[in-house]
Structure 1
C-alpha cells in the first residue's frame, strides 16, 4: 500500500522440516582422570579455532547504539537464515495482521485517509494532482525494483513513461492522462508478474471502477507481486544456505560476539551447570590423593544438550546459541510432555486393571487417542492439569466398562474406579513413581540418540515401558537430534573453547610438597 515503511510480514506454514545436516555427534566420553588430561586437551582443542573466545576472557566494553543495532540486525539475519534452512514451507505473505488488532486498525485508517484525499483532489475543479504524483512515483519505484540488473530496455521505458518532471508539467496545465498511465502500469505489471497473478492482471484490465479504486487494486496486486519476488528469492537462496549454512551462521554469530563480548553468558552458564552435574556424580573411590576424575568434553556437551529438552523457560533464558530454535524446541517439549502423560496414564490403567484388557490393541489405541485429545494444550498457562486428569479418569472408566461389558466381564467396582482415578490424578506430583520412571526412560532414550553417531538406527529402539508412544518418540527424537547435530556443527568451536576453560579451571593443582624439617641448633652443632 502507499505507506513507504510497510513491509510484507514473514510467516511459516506447515511443519518444520529437520535439517539435512548429517549426524556428526560423537559417542559419550568416559570419565577421565587428570593423568589423561593432556590427551583430552590435544584431541579436544584440535577443532577449536583461536579466533573464538568466551566472554569471560574479554575485557568490559561499552557498546554504542550503532553497534547494538548492528548486532540486532545480525541476529535477525541469523534467525531468518535458520528458518529458511530448516523449514521448507517458509514463505512471506502480504498481510497477516489479526483482524481485531490495533496495528491493523491504525494501518487501515491511514490507508483510507490517503485514498480519500486522492479522490477529493481528483474531483476538484480543476483537479489537484499532488497525491496522484506521489502515488505514481511510488509505483515507478516498485516496478523498477522488480527488474533484473540487465533489463535496461524496460527500465528506460518505465523512466520515460513515468517521467515525474514531465507529469508535473502536465499537472500544471491540467493535461495529465491518469487513465492512460494506469493502463500502462497494468500492462507493465502483466509483463513482470508470475503466472499465478495473470488472473489478477486480467481483472485490473477489465475493471470499470473509478480511477481511485483502480489504483487501490493496483497497489494490492503490487503487494502480491512483491511477496512473489521475495518467495522466489527465498527458494533460490535455500539450496545455497543449506550448503553453506553452517559457515554462514557461525560467521554471523562470530560477528555478534565481536561486537558484544558478553553474548555467550547464558551459554557458558548452561554448559557450566552440566559440568557441575557430572562432577557431582563422579565416583571418588580408588583415586590417589590429589587425583580427580573429570568428565570428557563430549560427555559434558551431550549432558547439556539433554538439559535443553527439559528447559524451564520461565526461570532462565535459553543459551544464546539456541535462541534461533526456541519455537521449535518449545514445540518438541510440549509434544513430549503430552506423550509422557499419555504413557503414564496407560501404564497406570494396565497395571491396575490387568488381564481383562491385556492384548486388546484396538482398546489401547482408543484410550491413547482419547487421553491425547483431553490433554491437548496441557502446556498452556490456563490449563488445569488436575481437572483435565479428572475428566480423563471419568472417560477412561466409561470406556473400560463398555469394553468389559461387551466381552462379558464384570464392570469396574466403585472402589476400583476410585483407585484408578486417584492414581491417574497423582501423576501431577513430581515424585510420583510412574512419572519418575517414564521421565527417566525418556531421558535415556534421548541421551542414547544424542550420543550415537548414527541415531537413525536407534529411533525405533525405545526403552521398556514406552512402547505405547513409540511412533511419537521416534518422530520427536528425529526432530530433536537433527536440531542438536546442526547446532553442534554451527557452534562447536564456541562450545569447545568454553568447555576447555571450564574443565581445566575445575582441576585443582596438586598440593605442594612438604617442606623438609629445619635442622635444630643441636644438629648443627653436632655436625660441626
Structure 2
C-alpha cells in the first residue's frame, strides 16, 4: 500500500474476472510422451526416492516425524493460498467472524471486556493511572508504523516523536498525559493511511463524542479493518508476479509435499488407472499384425487425461477421494458439478415442456427464458441430501402450467387441458427415475460437449457450439465449459510431469506383465505414448 504521504486509490477487496488459462497448456499436453517429457519429469522427480512415491507399487511407507508433518502442512497451505490468488481474481480476505455463542468467541469477548474495564478503571482513578493506556498506545504506534513503506522516513519519525513511550511515561508520572490529544493525532494519522473505502469510518471516529475508552475501542476496530485492507492490497500487488511464476511455484511446492509424504499420489494413480481402463474400452481394436497377432492398443496421453478430467464432472464419494493434484480446485469442481447437475435438470424439464406443448411456446423467447429461470430457482440446492427433488419437480410443473396458461389467456387461447397438465407433471417428475430417456439424453450430450471443449485448442477463447437439444441452456453451458477448460489447462501445466511419471509406471508394469504372460515372445503393448 503506497503510504509515503499518499493515499491508496484501491479499495480493500479485489474484484475482477477469473483468470484465463494460457492456451499453451494444450501444446504442453501434446508433448506428454515417453520421450519428450523425460526432461520435464526430471524437474519434478530429481531422485529415485521421490519417483518411488508415485509408483503404483511402492515399498512400505516410512514413519513421519512431527516436523515433517508440520512442514507438509505448511507447504500445502502455501500451495492452496497461491493457487487461489492466481486462479480466483475475486479472492480477498475478510475479517474473521467467530460463530455466535462459540467458546472461542465467549473467551475472546471476556478477555477484551476485562482489558477495557481495567483501562477505564485506571483512567477514572484519582489521580489517573496510565499503565494500560501506555500499553495500548505502544501497540497502536507499532500498527501505524507497520502500514508505512520503507521510504516513509518523515512519517515514521513523526509517529515515533508523538508516540514516544519514554516521554509519555514521564508525563504519566506527572499526571500530564493528554489522552484526548493523542487519540486525535492517531485518528488523523489513520486518515492519511487508510484506503478511501474507510473514509466514513475515520469520519465517525472524528465525530465520536464518547469517553476515551469508547474512542480507543473504535480505533482498534478500524485498525483491524485497515490491516485487512493492507493484506488484500498486498495480494493484489503480488498477483501479477504469482501469475508469472505460478506453474513453477505450485509444481515445486507439490514436489516438496511429495518428498515428505509417502504415497502422496495414491489417489491420483487410481484416478489415472480408472481412466486408462475407461479410455481403453472406447478405443477401437488394434489391427492385426503381419504375424497374425494383435497388440493391445492404448489411447494417447491427451485422450487419457481428457477422459480422466471428464470423470471429475460426475465424481462422487463412491469414486473415493479426489486426486491429490486436484485438491486446490475441490471447491471449484464441486460448484461446477452442482451447476451442471442443476442445468441438466432444467434442460430436461424444458425439453419435456417443448415436446408436450411446443406450439403454445412458439415465438415467445421471453416466456421460455422466464420458465428456465423459474425452474432453476425452484431446483436450486438439488444436490443437498435433504432436498426433495420429486416434490420440487411437482412444484416446477405446477408453475410451468400456470405460466403457460397465463400466456395463452393473454393471447386469447384456451388453457391447457387438465389431462395434458397431468401428463406433463408426470413426465417432469419421472426425470428422477434411473435411465429416464430425456435426462439420459441430456447427460450424454452434455458429456459430449465437454469432450469437444477439452479437445478444441481455442476453447478458452471461443467455446464450441452446444449439441442439439441443449440450446435452451447454451449460455450457462458455454460458461461452464469455459470455466472447466481453464481449470483443466492450468492443472495440466502444473502437474503434467507427475501425470507422465504415473503413466510411465503403469505402462511399464503392464508391459512387464504382458511379457511374462507371453514367455518373452511378444513385445510390450503398443502405446501412442511411444508412437507420438
Normalising by the residue count of structure 1, what TM-score does the alignment of the two structures yield?
Answer: 0.84
Q: Residue 481 of structure 1 is aligned with which of 482, 485, 489?
A: 485
Q: How many Å separate the matches in 1 of 2:354 and 2:412?
A: 19
Residues 310 and 450 in structure 2, CA contact (< 8 A), matched pair in contact too: yes
Q: How many Å separate the matches in 2 of 1:165 and 1:345?
A: 75
Q: Residue 435 of structure 1 is aligned with which of 434, 439, 452?
A: 439
Moved more, 148-157 or 426-435: 148-157
Structure 2 residue aligned with 1:416 = 420
Residues 264 and 319 in structure 1, CA contact (< 8 A), matched pair in contact too: yes
Moved more, 495-504 or 190-199: 190-199
Structure 1 residue aligned with 2:273 = 272
Q: How many Å separate the matches in 2 of 1:458 and 1:178?
A: 63
Structure 2 residue aligned with 1:129 = 130
- Note the aligned Cα RMSD (angstroms): 3.0
Q: Residue 389 of structure 1 is aligned with which of 385, 390, 393?
A: 393
Secondary structure in structure 2 of the residue aligned to 1:19: coil
Cα 1:341–1:161, aligned 2, differ >3 Å: closer, same or farther? same
Cα 1:176–1:365, aligned 2, differ >3 Å: closer, same or farther? closer
Q: How many Å separate the matches in 2 of 1:218 and 1:162?
A: 15
Q: How many Å separate the matches in 1 of 2:124 and 2:410?
A: 80
Residues 54 and 494 in structure 1, CA contact (< 8 A), matched pair in contact too: no
Q: How many Å separate the matches in 1 of 2:396 and 2:16?
A: 28
Cα 1:467–1:196, aligned 2, differ >3 Å: closer, same or farther? closer
2:375 counterpart of 1:362: no
Residues 286 and 295 in structure 2, CA contact (< 8 A), matched pair in contact too: no
Cα 1:493–1:374, aligned 2, differ >3 Å: closer, same or farther? same
Structure 1 residue aligned with 2:34 = 41
String of CA shifts for 1:491-510, please: whole Å, max 9, x gaps: 11111111221233223433
Q: How many Å separate the matches in 1 of 2:147 and 2:451?
A: 50
Q: Residue 329 of structure 1 is aligned with which of 327, 333, 339?
A: 333
1:456-475 matches, within 5 Å, as 456=460, 459-475=463-479
1:199-218 matches, within 5 Å, as 199-218=200-219
Give the deviation of 1:369 after TM superposition. 2.2
Q: How many Å separate the matches in 1 of 2:218 and 2:467?
A: 60
Normalising by the residue count of structure 2, what TM-score does the alignment of the two structures yield?
Answer: 0.84
1:160-171 matches, within 5 Å, as 160-171=161-172
Secondary structure in structure 2 of the residue aligned to 1:25: helix
String of CA shifts for 1:459-491, please: whole Å, max 9, x gaps: 241111111111111111111111111111111
Cα 1:15–1:439, aligned 2, differ >3 Å: closer, same or farther? farther
Give the deviation of 1:365 after TM superposition. 2.2
Q: How many Å separate the matches in 1 of 2:206 and 2:426?
A: 70
Q: How many Å separate the matches in 2 of 1:195 and 1:187?
A: 14
Q: How many Å separate the matches in 2 of 1:513 and 1:325?
A: 44
Secondary structure in structure 2 of the residue aligned to 1:75: helix
Q: How many Å separate the matches in 2 of 1:335 and 1:471?
A: 12
1:75-86 matches, within 5 Å, as 75-86=76-87
Give the deviation of 1:451 after TM superposition. 1.5
Q: How many Å separate the matches in 2 of 1:480 and 1:465?
A: 21
2:247 counterpart of 1:246: yes
Cα 1:365–1:135, aligned 2, differ >3 Å: closer, same or farther? same
Q: How many Å separate the matches in 1 of 2:400 and 2:200?
A: 54
Residues 44 and 497 in structure 2, CA contact (< 8 A), matched pair in contact too: no
String of CA shifts for 1:366-409, please: whole Å, max 9, x gaps: 32222122112212232110100111122222333344455565
Secondary structure in structure 1 of the residue aligned to 2:92: strand
Structure 1 residue aligned with 2:519 = 512
Give the deviation of 1:177 after TM superposition. 3.8
Residues 28 and 302 in structure 1, CA contact (< 8 A), matched pair in contact too: no
1:183-222 matches, within 5 Å, as 183-222=184-223
Structure 1 residue aligned with 2:143 = 142
Cα 1:181–1:13, aligned 2, differ >3 Å: closer, same or farther? closer
Structure 2 residue aligned with 1:498 = 502
Moved more, 118-127 or 88-97: 88-97
Q: How many Å separate the matches in 2 of 1:69 and 1:513?
A: 48
Give the total of aligned pairs: 495
Moved more, 281-290 or 231-240: 281-290
Residues 146 and 229 in structure 1, CA contact (< 8 A), matched pair in contact too: yes
Name stretches of at least 5 consecutive residues in structure 2 with no aligned partner: 1-11, 46-50, 522-532
Residues 44 and 252 in structure 2, CA contact (< 8 A), matched pair in contact too: no
Give the deviation of 1:104 after TM superposition. 4.1
Q: How many Å separate the matches in 2 of 1:457 and 1:223?
A: 41
Residues 18 and 479 in structure 1, CA contact (< 8 A), matched pair in contact too: no
Q: Which structure is larger by alpha-carbon Rg, 1 or 2?
A: 1
Q: How many Å separate the matches in 1 of 2:147 and 2:141?
A: 10
Q: How many Å separate the matches in 2 of 1:179 and 1:404?
A: 73
Q: How many Å separate the matches in 1 of 2:156 and 2:389?
A: 63
Give the deviation of 1:173 after TM superposition. 5.1
Residues 26 and 298 in structure 1, CA contact (< 8 A), matched pair in contact too: no
Moved more, 118-127 or 293-302: 118-127
Structure 2 residue aligned with 1:6 = none
Name stretches of at least 5 consecutive residues in structure 1 with no aligned partner: 1-10, 30-38, 515-528
Structure 1 residue aligned with 2:526 = none
Give the deviation of 1:446 after TM superposition. 0.4
Give the deviation of 1:181 after TM superposition. 3.2
Q: How many Å separate the matches in 2 of 1:441 and 1:184?
A: 66
Residues 393 and 421 in structure 1, CA contact (< 8 A), matched pair in contact too: yes
Structure 1 residue aligned with 2:89 = 88
Moved more, 455-464 or 326-335: 455-464
Residues 28 and 451 in structure 1, CA contact (< 8 A), matched pair in contact too: no
